[in-house]
Structure 1
């Protein structure tokens, strides 16, 4: 594939045109399905209320079989409620396959989107972010593909990412699990052979509001803290490596600069605001940015045996369908915003990763 397979940000006007031409018929059908399911949900709610009221009236009238009427009515209502929940799940999947998938393809045609798939727990634990290791990993919105370097043919970086929720166990038998992480997890081919492990973690003050504050702690016997020359980089990150020479081999000045830009992008998404709204005044852009602040958290990096793992602890769900919220252009513009934020930051690093190759 040629260099055209890169992350493509639409302006506000271009997005509106894409929505009108490509998504409007699909969204209209999805909205009809949503209204139909909402109607069924209200019917179930009112039916449940009616059963309770009728049971109370029969009890007051000393109807000896009122208890059977109550249990029978509740059972029927519950069965219908389960049907509504199943239809809601089917609609969620339909929204992702028929509407969100085209949005992802529009951003980068090489990406493959699998709504109900996640990255395997073994790979997540291999990155070494979590100690103790996660007992279980669930997730969805799995994306895999290649990011191509502009102007260079047949040169690409393979990547996958998805939303994950990690849980740990209190016991060795993993009978009791508790959630302690939710966010985005990336696996990126680093395009450079090396044997070893390097962590790049935000300073403690940058992660004090996340659940990872006291979870991610490199083993001091295996990992040594490495002081690098970049003053701006060391103000933001702590670096730990199994070998200081390897650490400096990986973290070149250019890569450190890209990681800083990558992190700023995840925090505020300034580049997105500039590209999607090129004609907007600075004051209006600042006002909009206050409402859309990116993820607002710093990413974690793990370079291990030729791979790069990235963890962004957003502690929220993305691309989520809400049954009681009308499906319209504004909803899908927010979906598009999340997609751009999730995918474009990979390209930001890719521009520097291409200075190396495994071939």
Structure 2
């Protein structure tokens, strides 16, 4: 059985050399055959990714070629929509057909062996995670996670200490209810804020103590000195500020607790020294807590852990070294903090809420969540009003958490379907020249498509870029059209002839049953042709403003009539029969401002969410 070997913390080269030598031997004998197989699969995945990129580029080049060949007058947003749709479908197919099997094979065949190499007493579960109840019991974060996920659970007992750790992603979910003065109904909106992303470590701390002691990174005093220390004392939600005698420890950490004596009992001089050494080695932001005879450590990471590479070869041992170092960093907490020291160990019955009990439950196939404690003796407990409200909120949160994955999946599919339908509806409008309505429909559809396939953070980021772009395009095109209508008064004229003149009817139906009504709208369909520099042009645009009654227009322009045509000398295919236009139209600019405002709000929420994630990391 291979167990962790002790080493000198102050001389990293002493343990790196020894571990690297054994790691190289393990790599050659145990991992290399499977890595060679996975490397061949990685090359296929990489090749197919390159092919997907080539197909994506070729599709867009073909789109541009067709655009130029037929002289289509398309908006920029049409091309942007085609780019995003072709990217989504091309790379989604690549992920499903190639990358997913490669990812699963790596997690099944490589990571478990590295975990066993670190210590054979450890057990690996790629889909498991430290339970939400343990995250809450750590008291490391003030916010309750409404969305909680994770993977890569490692568990086992090292000596006398049972441990668990996994990658964890915790997010706060706020349901914001807005009431309208004009309606009796309330609208709800979900706001998601990251709490923590990284590794969460839990171990049995076999030392009897009261209350909870929390150790956090000391950023306030390091940045603001004595003022920062005063600010720390105001953080009452974590308990009392506890000052300790170790200056090196005080530079790195700030301690809060419910009991001064208990905190000093836990954080002995030797433990503080070992925490300082561990922090200097890890060089990561860490949060630690001691609560209910358990020890918690949250180590923030700004990257996904234990994931296979695509761009770089799997045969490079430096990647295996990185996976090993991440695991070793956490596993060695037991040895470095002397959690197995006999003076700390209590030989008592296995507590139902201990990590050891949770590990035993997982190995036996039952739930690792501690059972609900029995009600107190002496009859049913009577709760106060505040306790009742708190219990109801907890019940509502649990119900929301259990339904959240199903609701989230349904919302994503609705967004995908709605987005694709809106994009399909918008394209005929844009191709036929109805730019404003098509552009708005296309923008909303594109936003839904991104929201249906990407994460909420990417959805906000894309919306923050897409909506202002739509608003700017609407404003620019509207102003350009207005300027063109004014300039048409000074355009040169050429004689043309009416080649088509008719009334078209459009029927629409509204209401149901006896209230069902049909409305018939008539509009003129007049086409004329004209000759410039030996080239014949056709156009159906009569004016930049409304042309009035359809019958009057058709009577005014019968087939065969010679008419003066006002044409744009820079773009001869742009022409009208009635130059000039109506007064300045403010409506497009209201739409433009609305889209820009929506984009700014989404971008602000995205930056706030990203900043919160950075602070948590």
Give TM-score scaled by structure 1 length.
Answer: 0.75
Root-mean-square deviation (Å):
3.4
Cα pair 1:223 1:241 within 8 Å, conserved: yes
Aligned residue in 1 for 2:91: 81
Q: Secondary structure at the match of 1:200?
A: strand
Give the deviation of 1:34 after TM superposition: 0.7
For the 8 Å contact 2:172–2:194, the answer to whether it is kept is yes
How many angstroms apart in 2 are the aligned matches of 1:7 and 1:145? Answer: 17
Q: What whole-Å deviation, never above 9, does each CA across 1:237-294 have from its counterpart, x for those lacking one?
A: 222211122222222233223222322232xxxxxxxxxxxxxxxxxxxxxxxxxxxx
Task: Write the distance in 1 (CA, Å) between the matches of 2:151 and 2:342.
Answer: 29
Seen in structure 2, the aligned counterparts of structure 1 residues 218 and 339 have a Cα distance that, compared at 3 Å, is: farther
Indicate conservation of the 8 Å contact 2:46/2:310, yes or no: yes
Q: Distance in 1 between matches of 2:313 and 2:32?
A: 14
Change (3 A) 1:183 1:218: farther
- Is it true that 1:52 corresponds to 2:60 in the alignment? yes
Tell me what 1:126 maps to. Answer: 137
Distance 1:29 1:218 in 2: 57
Larger RCO (alpha carbons 8 Å, 6+ apart): 1
Instruction: Name 2:41's counterpart in structure 1.
Output: 33
Q: How does 1:214-225 map to 2 (within 5 A)?
A: 220=236, 223-225=239-241
Aligned match of 2:425: none
- Answering whether residue 100 of structure 2 is matched by residue 113 of structure 1, we say no
1:319-334 correspondence runs (5 A): 319-328=306-315, 329-334=317-322
Q: 1:24 to 1:130 in 2, by over 3 A?
A: same
CA drift at 1:191: 1.2
Compared with structure 1, are the counterparts of its residues 78 and 184 closer, same or farther at alpha carbon in structure 2 (3 Å cutoff)? closer
Q: Aligned with 1:125: secondary structure?
A: helix
The residue number in structure 2 matching 1:318 is 305
Q: Which residue of structure 2 aligns with residue 289 of structure 1?
A: none
Name the structure 1 match of 2:26: 18
Deviates more, 1:221-230 or 1:39-48: 221-230
2:206 to 187, 191, 212: 191
Shift of 1:14: 2.4
Q: What is the rounded CA distance, in whole Å, between the counterparts of 1:171 and 1:161 in structure 2?
A: 30
* Distance in 2 (alpha carbons) for counterparts of 1:147 and 1:300: 22
Deviation of residue 218 (structure 1)? 8.4
Could you say which structure has the larger radius of gyration? 2
What is the alpha-carbon distance in structure 2 between the residues aligned to residue 195 and residue 218 of structure 1?
Answer: 23
The CA distance in 2 between the partners of 1:314 and 1:301, in whole Å, is: 15
Cα deviation, residue 174, structure 1: 7.6
Alignment of 1:172-211 (within 5 A): 175-204=190-219
1:142-163 CA-to-partner distances (Å, cap 9, x unmatched) read: 1111112xxxxxxx10011112
Distance 1:138 1:191 in 2: 28
Change (3 A) 1:326 1:43: same
**CA drift at 1:85:** 0.8
Cα 1:221–1:29 shift into 2, 3 Å? closer
Deviations 1:85-108 (A, max 9, x none): 123133123212211221110110
Higher helix share: 2
In structure 2, relative to structure 1, the CA distance for the partners of 1:95 and 1:62 (3 Å cut) is same
Structure-2 change in CA distance of 1:135 and 1:174 (3 Å): farther
Give the conservation status (yes or no) of the 8 Å contact 1:93–1:115: no
Give the Å deviation of 1:61: 4.3
- Does the Cα contact within 8 Å between 2:56 and 2:86 map onto a contact in 1? no
2:290 counterpart residue number: 303
Q: Would you say 1:91 and 2:102 are equivalent positions?
A: yes
Separation (CA, whole Å) in 2 of partners of 1:342 and 1:199: 19
**Counterpart-to-counterpart distance in 2, 1:100 and 1:128:** 30
Gapped regions of structure 1 (runs ≥ 5): 65-70, 149-155, 267-295
Query: 1:145-192: CA deviations, max 9, x gaps?
Result: 1112xxxxxxx1001111222222344578121224322211110012
- Alignment CA distance shift 1:121-1:7 (3 Å): farther
Secondary structure class of the residue paired with 2:343? coil
The match for 1:242 among 244, 252, 258 is 258
Cα separation, 2, equivalents of 1:79 and 1:85: 10
Distance 2:250 2:83 in 1: 65
Q: Which residue of 2 aligns with 1:6?
A: 4
Equivalent residue for 1:280? none
2-side partners of 1:75 and 1:201: how far apart?
Answer: 45
